[in-house]
Amino acid sequence: MLSFNTLLYKEVLRVQKVAFQTLLAPVLTALLYLLIFSHVLEQHVEVYPGVRYTAFLIPGLVMMSVLQNAFANSSSSLIQSKITGSIVFVLLAPIAYWEFFLAYVLASVVRGLVVGVGVYLAALWFAQPPLQFPAWIMLFAVLGSALLASLGVVAGIWSEKFDQLAGFQNFIIMPLTFLSGVFYSIHSLPSFWQGLSRFNPFFYMIDGFRYGFFGASDISPWFSLAVVAGCLVGLAGFTLALLKSGYKLRL
Amino acid sequence: MSPAVDVRQVHKHYGSLHALDGVDLRIGQGEFFGLLGPNGAGKTTLINLLAGLALPDGGQLSILGHDVVKQYRDSRRLLGVVPQELVFDPFFTVRETLRLQSGYFGLRRNDAWIDEVMHHLDLTDKADTNMRKLSGGMKRRVLVAQALVHKPPVIVLDEPTAGVDVELRQTMWQFIQRLNRDGHTVLLTTHYLEEAEALCNRIAMLKHGRIVALDSTQNLLNSVVGCRVRLKLAGVLPAALLPQMIEQAGEDYLLELPSYQALEPALAELRMAGVAVQELSLLQPDLEDVFLRVMQVEHEVARPC
Ligand SMILES: Nc1ncnc2c1ncn2[C@@H]1O[C@H](COP(=O)(O)OP(=O)(O)O)[C@@H](O)[C@H]1O
Ligand SMILES: [Mg+2]
């Protein structure tokens, strides 16, 4: 238990020591999006009746930041320690593969949530979306960030160089977040893209998360919950199997 | 009593390379054991397998009776490894690094021992310095300290003194020897053969993934037949002795004789040539002689014509 706690503590400490990059920078990025999109679209779009576009946008941006930072945390921590070689200190220790998994995922969830809260608080200055069901908000934030953190563990183990990790980020994470309805409701898309969005797990994470704020969503939050939880279980199982086999970590 | 280290018929491939080719090795508790071999022989690979940093393709390895694959948590708890590469975590200070390492091994309040280890490795002044700011030698000391935070019964050092100043080598060996006297088993690989000769009670030599010599240090030294003689002559070495000469600097000659019995005839040769011997010393064979001989013999055997 102490081994696990220590690894978790170390991962959180790492986030803290470079808080400027890991916490502050993502909040600023999200605020830039908010500033630009709300300025451009505020007059033109009303997604839910009576909800200003800026208010609609805020939960999407918060969740996007949560997800991207959860992924960035586990993946970059792993690849850094692989490249500097300091990962041996963890590999030499009597830490079970599932403790390794949980520590990296939990630390990344923590970073995702802290960034999410930061973005939310800063965004309140622009608009104040309601908070209908805080429990749904928390549930989707935690499950979504755990899913992305797990994906980050896979990416961090698989990548041997920063370029490969950047590829993962640019060709998988970014397109999936942008095509998930962060900036719009998928009902405003042509039917082909609407259909395609339904295969994107990010869509369910964002839609379910947004439900917690407005009590309204593109599809039932229960269905979104089932999809997100299913993806998490599947991916966690895959990641655990990868860690257990020692793939690319224990040569 | 389980051996400290038990390696049975271990094989490891990297692609087509047979990095370890059926290695068998048992190291008793309390031994100070040397693993020698040229670069690429497979020393680090063997250590990685013991530490669980790599997985074997065949055979079994255990630490104090605990299989390194099936009972990896037990075997890792019993092992302290100083890796060959100079690695460090740039986010932390020396003390943070050592505290984290203690925590990974399940030790909560370990500061008394951490202070003692830092003291013995001359790290106390640097306790609160960030790892990035340390010199290579200092980083190496921290690596040694990290391997010792949990007082492992089996200590493995993979070329711990490569590129390290003489001062550290001495402080470090004093400390490691003390731990060895207290009952810790030590497995060492090093390029400095005189170091292995001075410290190790038993030595294995590895080449191309196979053990080519395994014996007590004394037996290995005794296995060197022949002797070396350093001479200072008032004149020129007689032609009859030229085949035995291996070095010359002015009037100083180094001869290699097939045995001690060959000494008297050689001196007779000098007397008959009228060359006076001004100084004479017999050189003890050292591990380097053994090493070169073992590696050479193996080379000839390994290359059938
Ligand atoms: N991860 C690896 N991938 C491919 N080849 C490796 C790997 N690790 C070691 N080797 C090869 O295995 C052989 C033994 O290496 P090593 O155990 O490091 O030797 P030593 O420590 O005795 O110098 C070398 O030829 C080395 O190139
Ligand atoms: Mg080596």
Per-residue pLDDT tens for B125-135? Answer: 999 999 999 98
What distance in angstroms lies between residue B85's CA and the mean position of ligand 2's atoms? 9
- Domain at B5-219, CATH from 3.40.50.970, 3.30.2130.10, 3.40.50.1010, 3.40.50.300: 3.40.50.300
Q: Residue A229 is part of which domain span?
A: 2-245
Give the residue-averaged pLDDT of B47-59: 95
Q: Residue B63 pLDDT > 50, yes or no?
A: yes
**pLDDT attached to residue B304:** 41
**Which tokens go with B247?**
């070095």
Tell me the pLDDT band of B296, cut-offs 50, 70 and 90. Answer: confident
Choose among B83, B90, B105: nearest Cβ to A88: B83
**pLDDT attached to residue A121:** 94
| Tokens 């191309």 -> residue | B208
Dihedral of alpha carbons A151, A154, A156, A158, sign: negative
Does B87 contact A2 at a Cβ distance shorter than 8 Å? no
Q: Is residue A63 part of a domain?
A: yes
Q: Residue B239 pLDDT > 90, yes or no?
A: no
CA-closest candidate to residue A235, choices A201, A184, A193: A201
A13 touches chain B (CB under 8 A): yes
Q: What is the least distance, in Å, from the CA of A76 to any CA of chain B? A: 14
- Which chain B residues touch A251 with a CB distance below 8 Å? 14, 48, 53-55
Alpha-carbon gap, residue A105 to A71, rounded angstroms: 9
**Percent with pLDDT over 90 in chain B:** 62
Q: Is residue A251 part of a domain?
A: no
Chain B, nearest residue to A83 by Cα: B87
Q: What is the pLDDT along chain A (251 residues), one digit of tens a residue?
A: 899 999 999 999 999 988 888 888 888 988 898 888 888 777 766 777 778 888 888 999 999 999 999 999 999 999 999 999 999 999 999 999 999 999 999 999 999 999 999 999 999 998 899 999 999 999 999 999 999 999 999 999 999 999 999 998 899 888 888 888 888 777 777 888 888 888 999 999 999 999 999 998 889 999 999 999 999 999 999 999 999 999 999 98
**pLDDT attached to residue B298:** 54
**pLDDT attached to residue A177:** 85
Does A2 contact B107 at a Cβ distance shorter than 8 Å? yes
When divided into structural domains, chain A yields a total of 1
Tell me the pLDDT band of B55, cut-offs 50, 70 and 90. Answer: very high
Does A84 contact B101 at a Cβ distance shorter than 8 Å? no
Give the residue-averaged pLDDT of B66-77: 95
Whole-model pTM? 0.87
Q: Residue B302 pLDDT > 50, yes or no?
A: no
Q: Please check whether residue B240 is in contact with residue B71, taking contact to mean a CB–CB distance below 8 angstroms.
A: no
Domain map of chain B by residue range?
5-219, 225-284
Q: Is residue A54 part of a domain?
A: yes
- Which chain B residues touch A18 with a CB distance below 8 Å? 91
Residue by residue, DSSP assigns A14-70 as HHHHTHIIIIIHHHHHHHHHHHHHHHHHTTT--SSTT--HHHHHHHHHHHHHHHHHH
Task: Please provide the CATH number assigned to the domain covering B225-284.
Answer: 3.30.70
B263 touches chain A (CB under 8 A): no
Q: Is residue A212 part of a domain?
A: yes
Q: Residue B229 pLDDT > 70, yes or no?
A: yes
Query: Could you say which residues from 62 to 121 on chain A have a Cβ atom under 8 Å away from some Cβ of chain B?
Result: 81, 84-86, 88-96
* Ligand in nearest proximity to the CA of B46: 1
Q: Is residue A49 part of a domain?
A: yes
